[in-house]
């Protein structure tokens, strides 16, 4: 946490494990899910795509064998779906295999790994999941997605029959926080969610989730006026955070002190999207540069397969993802933008919405939303800095 | 700006480049309809551009030849047609290699040698047998998508032999142009294929493509037919400044083949590892040859030496940058030095004068940078 | 002497990044061995005890646990950390801070 001498502390977000130097390998263990969330980018969820233990084992063997390709000192073995906990028994078997093989091979990863999950939380309390946590506790990281107030959560995160899932998720939150203190949640905001942003973030903090990572969807899902409403919500949230001194104990990723300024085309050219650095594996043993390039996740384009458990990783197929930078994908308008820093991109969204089958055409549907965020962010830090007597610089003029 | 067209006169036309024509060895052929040829010639005339005509294994009917002769053009045809057609660029495919022995000594032929991966070990021998029988020799390594590290090692060995043969030739006072070695002596900027930028291809179906490779790969993926303005989606990705690996590279003789890029990496602006390594093996061969021959060729032109670099694949620099292992400023200086080498001997005053002529805003920006520093 | 994800109690010192890396490595390895051994308990005890893998894990666990304890012993002496009955030391891996925390 940051503290200038004599100045009140401001809570900052917890850094990611191993400062982002870990390799993330994602097993898409199932394409099935109990929910039918309206904003879910997994447009092709189904009951058929289930990974076999054999496929997972082949993938693990390959990853452990190719040390010249996979040189990272740490690894995150991630399990995703659909809803991963639908396959907790399979995950348990895969995890046991991973641990044993890392040890048998005397692989450095044995001394630096995590099992990571992103779950809808519905099965968190079940025996299978709890046994798994008990067994692997020190190495497990679980994120439950709860989108805010019941009203907001149930707008999007619904069962196939349209019922909201909030009640079934929230009852597992206390257990989750008890087992994983200082956990964060990921909240996604689409157009209909905007009026509920402020109350939702406050609600999540009230539940004890002190770190809320929240982002707007990359898709072309925004209506005229959404940016103004979004800015109003964030401004109201800022006022509450400052008035009630919530900044001491809670964080919301919408507010970052260093964002919203122009970016240099050489020194600020780095690609921050991890596609290509992570590896995703589906039930057929196909490799993807990120889960969002798998068939069930794309709306308009064919999947991008960069290898297979049988043939290995095609390093040539990874080159575009690893060489993509800010300037090559961006329009001149983006490059000239005076509030560019902090404006996110997603290579899969680029690809899915591009005019051709390329990752080098930036999807810019979030442009107005980013500008609105910058204005609210500037407002927050300006007001907070004045209150705390901190120095601070308002960067850029987003209008 | 489009400077010329490539017209595939026959579905069976020879390839002259990295792509394969699956119909080339088939017995039947299908000529471009005459009406399409007329449209092609008409477009070229109206836009004052030339046409490269790709031939199959036989001469064309007289009306076709008349149309061809009516426009500025170059004929590209298999070597086997040389006895019937005296002028043009001749392609040596695998079934043409037997013709090499029958070629008379000359210094005017423009040849393209297309060499399949399985024959890589014969490259130096073929080159030697061709010496004295061409003015310009272009090499296309085929099956690049299947290249393995051992193939690149073999290519390096073949280049080492060719380096010696070429050195002897230059020292003897002959100056053959060898695209994969001698072009780099003189190049100070990228000299790429530039498909979609300086040329487009018209296929026998009358539709337009970036290059013949895209036509033969999938005829459905055309750019459309003749329009006053031909739209190429994401055309910026055809250009060097939108190729993150290539824009930092000084293997200027590389063709930066978009078709191979797309085929192997999936992106039109991203080359494969084997393309980069092959180009750098050639670059390095050029560098050594240039240093060895300077006393011989210096009188023709002051050549800029080609510095040694610690990599064969510039992707290694990009990847390290992205993985935050390298200091940006240091790497930036290194790349800038490499790309600006031909300008090293310019005086500052002369350089600034050229900057002023080319881009006054750049001059202003330079002054701001100097003031800030 | 333990490390947990949540720090509490009083800060009593700080180690260097290299020292932090040492104990983190031992901490991770120790937990890894413990959890790996739990994965093997589904087989019967006799089979387990005769398994070369299990024997290796047990031996490794012994070594790591010793080194783990040694690290705390050495650092606590070297840095003169206060010691209180009924308390233990914790390290924050992010800040390298050492805390003294009452036992539960």
Measured between CB atoms, which of A266, A357, A360 is closest to B269? Answer: A360
pLDDT on residue B180? 96
Instruction: Name the domain count of chain C.
Output: 1
CB distance B51 to B41 below 8 Å: yes
Question: Would the CA dihedral through A287, A291, A294, A300 be positive or negative?
Answer: negative
- Do the beta carbons of residue A85 and residue A126 sit within 8 Å? yes
- Structure confidence by residue, pLDDT tens digits, C29-41: 999 999 999 888 7
Rg (CA), chain C: 16
- Identify the residue among C6, C32, C41, C58 best suited for mutation to test binding to A, counting A beta carbons within 10 A and taking the highest: C32
Which pair of structure tokens corresponds to residue B24? Answer: 């080339």
- Is the pLDDT at C21 greater than 90? The verdict is yes
Q: What is the pLDDT of residue A395?
A: 47
Find all residues with CB under 8 Å of B155, minimum gap 6, and list them. Answer: B120, B123, B141, B278, B281
> How remote is the C-alpha of A125 from its chain's centroid?
23
How many angstroms separate the CA atoms of A219 and A231, rounded? 19
Task: Collect all residues of chain A within an 8 Å Cβ-Cβ radius of residue B273.
Answer: 315-316, 319
Read off the tokens for B364: 């202003």
- Under 8 Å CB-to-CB from A174, ≥6 apart: which residues? A208
Question: Can you tell me the distance from the alpha carbon of B305 to that of A89, in angstroms, rounded to the nearest whole number?
Answer: 64
CB contact under 8 A, B267 and A354: no
Q: How far apart are CA A36 and CA A157, in angstroms?
A: 7
The whole-angstrom separation of Cα B55 and Cα B11 is 9
Q: Which of B373, B176, B192 is nearest to B279 (CA)?
A: B192
Q: Which residues contact B220 (CB under 8 A, 6 or more apart)?
A: none
Q: State the pLDDT at residue C6.
A: 45
- Assess contact for B30 and B75: CB atoms under 8 A: no
**Nearest residue in A to C94, CA atom:** A15
Six-digit token string for B107: 């210094």
Would you say residue C6 lies in a domain? no
Look-up of token digits 């993938």? A59
**Is chain B in touch with chain C: ≥3 Cβ pairs within 8 A?**
no
Residue C3, pLDDT score? 43
pLDDT of residue A137: 86
**Beta carbons of A117 and A79 less than 8 angstroms apart:** yes
Chain A residues touching residue B244 (CB < 8 angstroms): 323-325, 328
Strands B89-92 and B73-78: parallel
Give the DSSP H/E element, type plus range, for residue B292.
Answer: helix B273-297
B136 beta partners: B110, B177
Which of chain B's residues have a Cβ under 8 Å away from the Cβ of A322? 315, 318-319, 322
> How many angstroms separate the CA atoms of C32 and A111, rounded?
7
> What are the residue ranges in chain B where pLDDT is below 70?
299-301, 320-327, 372-373
Look at residues C85, C80, C86, A396 and name the one whose alpha carbon lies nearest to residue C98. Answer: C80
- To the nearest whole Å, the CA of A381 is away from the closest chain C CA by 25
Q: Are A264 and A319 in contact (CB under 8 A)?
A: no
Give CA separation, B190 vs A273, B180, B181, B255, C33, in Å.
30, 13, 14, 8, 56
For each of the domains in chain A, give its residue range(s) and CATH number, in order of start. 22-181+274-323 (3.20.20.70), 184-273+325-392 (no CATH)
- Give C14's strand partners: C97
Least CA distance to A134: which residue of chain C? C35
Do residues B57 and B81 make contact, with C-beta atoms less than 8 angstroms apart? yes
Residues in chain B: 373
Tell me if residue A296 falls in helix, strand or coil.
Answer: helix
**Which of left, alpha, beta for B324 (phi over 0: left; psi -120 to 50: alpha)?**
left
pLDDT tens for residues B247-261? Answer: 999 999 999 999 999
**Distance (Å) of CA B126 to CA A137, B2, B91:** 66, 35, 14
From chain A residues 28-87, the ones with a CB under 8 A of any chain C CB are none
Is residue A308 left, alpha or beta, with left meaning phi > 0 and alpha meaning psi from -120 to 50? beta
Q: What is the pLDDT of residue B265?
A: 98
Tell me how far the alpha carbon of residue B64 is from its chain's centroid. Answer: 28
**Residue C7: inside a domain:** no
Nearest by CB to A323, from B264, B266, B315: name it. B315
Structure tokens at A325: 């930078």
Interface contact A111-C29, CB threshold 8 A: yes
CB spacing of C38 vs A138 below 8 angstroms: no
Chain A contact set for C104 (CB, 8 A): none
Which residues on chain B place their C-beta less than 8 Å from a C-beta of chain A? 233-234, 237, 242-245, 264-274, 315, 318-319, 321-324, 328-329, 332
Say if residues B114 and B143 touch (Cβ distance below 8 Å): no
Q: Give the number of other CB atoms < 10 A from CB of residue A198.
A: 22
B323's CB contacts (< 8 A; 6+ apart) are: A277
| Largest CA-CA distance found in chain C, in angstroms, rounded | 47
Burial of A84 (0-12, 13-18, 19+ CB in 10 A): buried
Question: Hey, CA dihedral for B300, B304, B310, B311, is it positive or negative?
Answer: negative
Closest CA to A84 of A51, A58, A117, A45: A117
* C6 in contact with A, Cβ within 8 Å: yes
Which positions in chain B touch A328 (Cβ < 8 Å)?
A: 242-244, 269
pLDDT at residue B365, rounded to an integer: 84
Count of C-beta atoms within a 10 Å radius of residue C79: 13
Give pLDDT < 70 ranges for chain A: 1-7, 41-48, 392-399
What size, in residues, is chain C? 104
Token readout for A399 is 């209008």
Mind listing the pLDDT tens digit for each residue in B184-195? Answer: 998 999 999 999
Query: What are the extents of the domains in chain B?
Result: 4-186, 345-373
Element (H, E) at C59: helix C52-79
Compute the distance between CA of residue A199 and CA of residue B270 in angstroms, rounded to an integer.
46
Label the pairing between strands C87-91 and A22-28: unpaired
Structure tokens at A202: 């406050």
Q: Are the Cβ atoms of B266 and A266 closer than 8 angstroms?
A: no
Touching A: C residues 21-60, CB under 8 Å: 25, 28-29, 31-33, 35-36, 38-39, 53, 57
Chain B residues with beta carbon closer than 8 angstroms to that of A23: none
Cβ contacts of C29 on chain A, cutoff 8 Å:
110-111
Chains A and B share 3 or more Cβ pairs within 8 Å: yes
Of B242, B319, B324, the CB nearest to A360: B242
Task: Count A/B contacts: CB-CB distance under 8 Å.
Answer: 67
Nearest neighbour of A266 by CB, restricted to B272, B273, B332: B332
- Tell me which residue in A104, A136, A181 faces C5 most closely, judged by beta carbons: A181
- Complex-level ipTM: 0.92
Tell if the CB–CB gap between A139 and C35 is shorter than 8 Å.
yes
Sequence-distant (6+) residues with CB within 8 A of A266 are B328, B332
Residue B211's closest CA among B357, B56, B352, B52? B52
CA A255 to chain centre: 16
Token pair 């939380």: residue:
A121
Q: Is the separation of the CB atoms in A1 and A14 below 8 Å?
A: no
Give yes or no for a contact between A306 and A289, defined as CB atoms under 8 angstroms apart: yes
Q: Which residues lie across from C11 on neighbouring strands?
A: C99
Search chain C and give the residue with CA nearest A181: C6
Question: A26-55 burial, b if ≥16 CB within 10 A, otherwise e?
Answer: bbbbbbbbbbebebebbeebeeebbbeeeb
- What integer pLDDT is reported at residue A4 of this predicted model? 46
Chain-chain contact of A112 with C38 (C-beta, under 8 angstroms) = no
Contact (CB<8Å) C36/A181 = no
* C96/C101 Cα distance (integer angstroms): 15
Q: Using CA atoms, how far apart are residues B159 and B279, in angstroms rounded to an integer?
A: 11
A320 to B264: CB separation less than 8 angstroms, yes or no: no
DSSP string covering B148-170, please? -HHHHHHHHHHHHHHHHHHHHHH
Interface test with C, best of A9, A103, A115, A177 (most C CBs within 10 A): A103
* CA B333/CA B338 separation, integer angstroms: 9
Q: Give the pLDDT confidence score for residue A46 in this predicted structure.
A: 65
**Over the Cα atoms of chain B, what is R_g?**
22
Cβ–Cβ below 8 Å for A355 and B233: yes
Q: Do A138 and C53 touch (CB under 8 A)?
A: no
User: Is there a contact between B266 and A320 if contact means CB atoms under 8 Å apart?
Assistant: yes
Inter-chain CB proximity B267 and A270 less than 8 Å: no
Give CA–CA dist A351/B329, Å, rounded: 31
Inter-chain CB proximity A319 and B332 less than 8 Å: no
Contacts of B110 by beta carbon, 8 Å cutoff, 6+ apart: B88, B89, B90, B134, B135, B136, B138
What are the φ/ψ torsions at residue B199 (nearest 5 degrees)? -150, 155
Choose among A320, A325, A328: nearest Cβ to B265.
A320
The C-alpha atoms of residue B195 and residue B6 are separated, in whole angstroms, by: 10
User: Tell me, what's the pLDDT at B87?
Assistant: 86
- Residues of the domain holding C47: 17-82
**Chain-chain contact of C32 with A103 (C-beta, under 8 angstroms):** yes
Nearest to B250 by CA among B312, B301, B319: B312
Among B238, B269, B277, B322, which would you mutate to test the A interface (most chain A Cβ atoms within 10 Å of its Cβ)?
A: B322
């Amino acid at each position: 946490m940051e503290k200038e001498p004599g100045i009140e502390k401001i809570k900052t977000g917890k850094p990611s494990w191993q400062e982002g130097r870990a390799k993330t390998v994602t097993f898409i263990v199932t394409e099935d899910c109990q929910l039918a969330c309206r904003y879910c980018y997994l447009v092709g969820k189904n009951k058929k795509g289930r990974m076999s233990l054999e496929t997972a084992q082949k993938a693990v063997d390959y990853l452990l064998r190719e040390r010249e390709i996979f040189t990272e000192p740490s690894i995150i073995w991630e399990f995703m779906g659909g809803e991963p906990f639908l396959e907790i028994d399979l995950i348990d078997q895969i995890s046991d295999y991973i641990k044993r093989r890392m040890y048998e091979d005397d692989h450095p990863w044995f001394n630096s790994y995590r099992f990571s999950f992103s779950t809808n939380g519905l099965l968190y309390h079940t025996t299978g999941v709890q046994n798994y946590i008990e067994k692997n506790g020190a190495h497990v990281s679980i994120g439950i997605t709860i989108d805010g107030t019941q009203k907001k959560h149930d707008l999007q995160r619904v069962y196939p029959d349209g019922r909201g899932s909030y009640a079934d998720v929230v009852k597992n939150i206390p257990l989750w926080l008890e087992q994983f203190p200082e956990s964060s949640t990921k909240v996604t905001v689409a157009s209909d969610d905007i009026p509920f942003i402020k109350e939702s973030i406050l609600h999540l903090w009230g539940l004890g989730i002190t770190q809320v990572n929240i982002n707007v969807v990359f898709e072309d899902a925004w209506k005229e006026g959404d940016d103004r409403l979004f800015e109003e919500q964030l401004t109201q949230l800022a006022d509450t955070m400052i008035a009630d001194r919530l900044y001491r104990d809670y964080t919301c990723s919408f507010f970052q002190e260093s964002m919203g300024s122009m970016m240099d085309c050489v020194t600020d050219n780095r690609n921050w999207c991890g596609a290509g650095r992570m590896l995703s594996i589906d039930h057929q043993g196909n490799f993807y540069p990120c889960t969002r390039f798998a068939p069930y996740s794309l709306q308009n384009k064919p999947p991008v397969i960069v290898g297979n458990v049988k043939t290995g990783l095609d390093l040539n197929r990874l080159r575009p993802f690893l060489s993509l930078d800010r300037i090559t994908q961006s329009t001149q308008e983006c490059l000239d933008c005076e509030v560019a820093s902090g404006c996110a991109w997603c290579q899969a969204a680029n690809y899915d919405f591009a005019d051709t089958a390329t990752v080098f055409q930036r999807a810019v549907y979030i442009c107005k939303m980013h500008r609105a965020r910058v204005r609210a962010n500037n407002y927050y830090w300006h007001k907070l800095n004045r209150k705390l007597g901190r120095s601070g610089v308002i960067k850029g003029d987003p209008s | 700006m489009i400077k010329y067209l490539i017209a595939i006169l026959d579905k069976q036309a020879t390839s002259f480049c990295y792509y394969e024509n699956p119909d080339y060895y088939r017995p039947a052929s299908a000529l471009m309809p005459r009406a399409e040829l007329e449209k092609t010639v008409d477009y070229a005339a109206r836009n004052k551009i030339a046409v490269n005509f790709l031939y199959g294994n036989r001469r064309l009917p007289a009306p076709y030849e008349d149309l061809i002769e009516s426009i500025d053009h170059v004929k590209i045809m298999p070597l086997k047609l040389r006895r019937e057609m005296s002028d043009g660029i001749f392609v040596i495919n695998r079934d043409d290699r037997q013709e090499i022995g029958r070629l008379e000594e000359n210094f005017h032929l423009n040849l393209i040698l297309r060499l399949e991966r399985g024959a890589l070990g014969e490259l130096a021998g073929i080159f030697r047998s061709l010496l004295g029988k061409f003015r310009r020799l272009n090499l296309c390594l085929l099956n690049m998508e299947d290249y393995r590290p051992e193939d690149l090692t073999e290519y390096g060995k073949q280049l080492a032999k060719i380096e010696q043969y070429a050195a002897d030739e230059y020292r003897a006072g002959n100056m053959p142009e060898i695209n994969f070695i001698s072009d780099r002596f003189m190049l100070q900027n990228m000299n790429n294929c530039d498909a979609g930028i300086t040329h487009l291809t018209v296929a026998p179906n009358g539709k337009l493509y970036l290059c013949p490779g895209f036509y033969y790969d999938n005829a459905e993926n055309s750019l459309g037919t003749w329009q006053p303005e031909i739209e190429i989606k994401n055309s910026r990705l055809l250009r060097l400044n939108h190729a993150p690996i290539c824009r930092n590279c000084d293997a200027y003789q590389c063709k930066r083949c978009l078709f191979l890029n797309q085929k192997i990496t999936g992106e039109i602006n991203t080359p494969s590892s084997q393309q980069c390594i092959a180009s750098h093996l050639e670059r390095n061969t050029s560098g050594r040859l240039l240093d060895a021959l300077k006393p011989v060729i210096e009188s023709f032109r002051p050549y800029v030496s080609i510095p040694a670099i610690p990599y064969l694949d510039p992707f290694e620099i990009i990847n390290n940058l992205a993985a935050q292992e390298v200091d940006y400023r240091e790497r930036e200086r290194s790349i800038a030095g490499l790309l600006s080498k031909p300008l090293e001997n310019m005086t500052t005053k002369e350089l600034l004068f050229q900057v002023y002529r080319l881009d006054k805003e750049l001059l202003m920006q330079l002054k701001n940078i100097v003031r800030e520093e | 002497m333990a490390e947990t994800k949540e720090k509490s109690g009083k800060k009593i010192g700080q180690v260097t990044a290299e020292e932090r890396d040492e104990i983190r490595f031992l901490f991770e390895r120790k937990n890894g061995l413990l959890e790996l051994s739990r994965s093997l308990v589904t087989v019967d005890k006799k089979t387990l005890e005769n398994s070369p893998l299990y024997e290796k894990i047990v031996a490794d666990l012994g070594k790591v646990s010793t080194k783990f304890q040694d690290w705390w012993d050495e650092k606590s002496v070297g840095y003169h950390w206060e010691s209180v009955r009924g308390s233990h030391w914790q390290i924050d891996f992010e800040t390298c801070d050492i805390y003294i925390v009452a036992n539960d």
